[in-house]
Structure 1
Amino acid sequence: MLRKTIALAALGLAVFATPALAASSHPLEPKEMTWGFEGPFGKFDQAQLQRGYKIYREVCSACHSMELMSFRNLGQKGGPFYDPKYPNPNDNPYVKAIAKDYQINDIDSETGDVIQRPGTSADRFPNPFPNEPAARASNGGALPPDLSNMAKARDGGPRYIYSLLTGFVEPPEGLTVPNGQHYNPYMAGDVSAYYKGKHHVPPGGFLAMAPPLATDKVSFDDGTKSTVEQQAKDVTAFLTWASEPKMEERKAFGIAAIIYLLILSGILYVSYKRIWRNVSH
């Protein structure tokens, strides 16, 4: 009798637990992509970084900050506008021109009043909003994340960014999207409370950001066709570079260190053989 009672209780728990388990949802795995900057010998494509910066400037910067980036970073070695003629990126005229297009909040040294002045290469990228409440008010209560380290802050890195940017689709039948939200199967979340369909709960979640990219939304100076996929690849490469702007230097140092250690190991081995060749073991 006791065994039957335990079995019935376990069956009841299973019945009640099954809907809860079925109700949970998970985002899709990021799309498989091949990037030129991956691997020990990978490098960034400077033309792609320039296109990616233009997308950030004309699209992403309206909502997202990059507070850890300074304009001079754009002209450093490996950066989008690096020029070997200007080893000091602060002297790069193109970087200076980019910075000058921005208006930077500053304090008048004589009156103490808040003023705006043209940017310099030493300035950081300006925040599109003066404070967090203003950012939330302009985005339906959501706070747009800073993009400085986005490629490292999200699981999947560049694959996740690319997948999210190209993953906006029509919600499946039975899924009600809340006002001011947008469905994306690559976004982490749980949409079970908004799903009344007959099938499994769809993957993904909601986010306040509308699809940011569209065909020909940004024109590329080098003539590259401006598709959504191309724009997503380019801005993803730029954000990956921004997350680790010294990646190429780090890889070059690592390869040189490995070569040095291999040569040193060979020299030590030969020296060992010469010193101990007449000594019996």
Structure 2
Amino acid sequence: MLPIFIRSIKFLIGGGFVFVLGLALFGTVKDLIQNPAAETAEHAMHKPPKELKLASDGFFGKFDNAQLQRGFQVYKEVCATCHSLHSVSFRELHGIGYNEAEIKKIAKDWGTKQPVFDEKGGTWGERDNLASDRLPKVYYAGTGSPPDLSLITKARHDGGAYVYSLLTGYDEKPSPEALKHFPEFAKPAEGMHFNPYFANLNIAMPPPLTGEGQVTYADGTRPTVDNMAKDVSAFLVWTAEPHAQSRKSAGFAVILFLLFATGLAYGAYLTVWKGVKH
């Protein structure tokens, strides 16, 4: 009798626990139906990234070195003032078409130099960058800490498209219908800028690309805001995965080998079992 009584108590406790959980779930669902959550500004105004097609997209995609060099120029002349690219070394620029002499000159002429410490680690000076050095960190004097851009296209959903959309989204304003519900976005807080492609809609970074001709492309490409945004986005896709093209080639070769090996194995199977009745 005692074991049966203990089992009955266990079933009663378990059933009561399930009942309480079910009751709580029912109450939560009922409350959500009767009192749906109010629409937030982020939900109402946030936009998905614009479409961006790059030469490196897809399994057979290849980097366009001319575009990557233009993107590097935009980064160097516009973005490098505030944002570091510390995971990239100067010599890796060989991957986008620069030769050894050009890389050495780029490193030497770079605005931020490499720190040099004495034996005691106290006083320090500076030296020119070498091709083997990573791009030096930016010591930003303003408020906040702008992110390093080395892996930004891997750290953000939609990668290059996100960067492109953010750079070209400053001129877009909230719709009149959205402003009826969220009038506070008619005028962003001091030091903030409305951008519908940023997570919380207001971003402290002012528009970095301010107009056509901000840089002068050596290949004659028209330096519009749209072109500069596309080029620097393509460059940041490369910095996040500079060996993507070689990995694609290796993967393609492996797939061809596996298909060939499968054909050989099937041919061997037919030869070995030829004439054998099942």
**What is the TM-score of this pair, normalised by structure 2?**
0.79
Matches within 5 A, 1:1-281: 17-18=35-36, 20-26=37-43, 27-75=46-94, 79-83=95-99, 92-102=100-110, 103-108=113-118, 113-129=123-139, 135=140, 138=142, 141-169=143-171, 171-172=173-174, 174=183, 175=185, 176-189=187-200, 205-213=201-209, 214-281=211-278
1:133-187 per-position Cα deviation (integer Å, ceiling 9, x unaligned) = xx3x51xx33201100011100011111111110112543532301111000001
Structure index of larger Rg: 2
Structure 1: how far apart are the matches of 2:34 and 2:264?
70
Any conservation in 2 of the 1:81–1:95 contact (CA below 8 Å)? Answer: no
Residues 72 and 121 of structure 1 are in contact (CA less than 8 Å); yes or no, is this contact kept in structure 2? yes
State the SS of the aligned residue for 2:149. Answer: coil
Task: Give distance in 1, aligned partners of 2:33 and 2:268.
Answer: 73
SS at match of 1:160: helix
Aligned to 2:24: none
Gaps spanning 5+ residues in structure 1: where? 1-8, 84-91, 130-134, 190-204
For the 8 Å contact 1:81–1:94, the answer to whether it is kept is: no
User: Does the 8 Å contact 2:91/2:103 carry over to 1?
Assistant: yes
Higher helix share: 2
How far is 1:278 from its partner?
A: 2.2
2 CA distance for matches of 1:229 and 1:171?
18
1:208-260 alpha-carbon deviations (Å, 9 max, x no partner) = 11110121101100100000000001000100000000011000000000111
Question: How far apart are 1:56 and its partner, in Å?
Answer: 0.5
Does the aligned pair in 1 maintain the 2:169–2:195 contact within 8 Å?
yes
Q: Deviations over 1:191-221 (max 9, x none)?
A: xxxxxxxxxxxxxx11111110121101100
- CA deviation after TM superposition for structure 1 residue 15, in Å: 10
Please list every run of 5 or more consecutive structure 2 residues that lacks an aligned counterpart in the other structure. 1-26
Q: CA RMSD, aligned part only?
A: 2.3
- Going from structure 1 to structure 2, the CA distance change for 1:256 and 1:14 (only over 3 Å counts) comes to closer
Answer whether contact 1:162 1:233 (CA < 8 A) is retained.
Answer: yes
Instruction: Check whether the contact 1:181–1:209 (CA below 8 A) recurs between aligned residues.
Output: yes
Paired residue type of 1:40: F
Alignment coverage as a number of residue pairs? 237
- With the length of structure 1 as denominator, give the TM-score of the two structures: 0.78
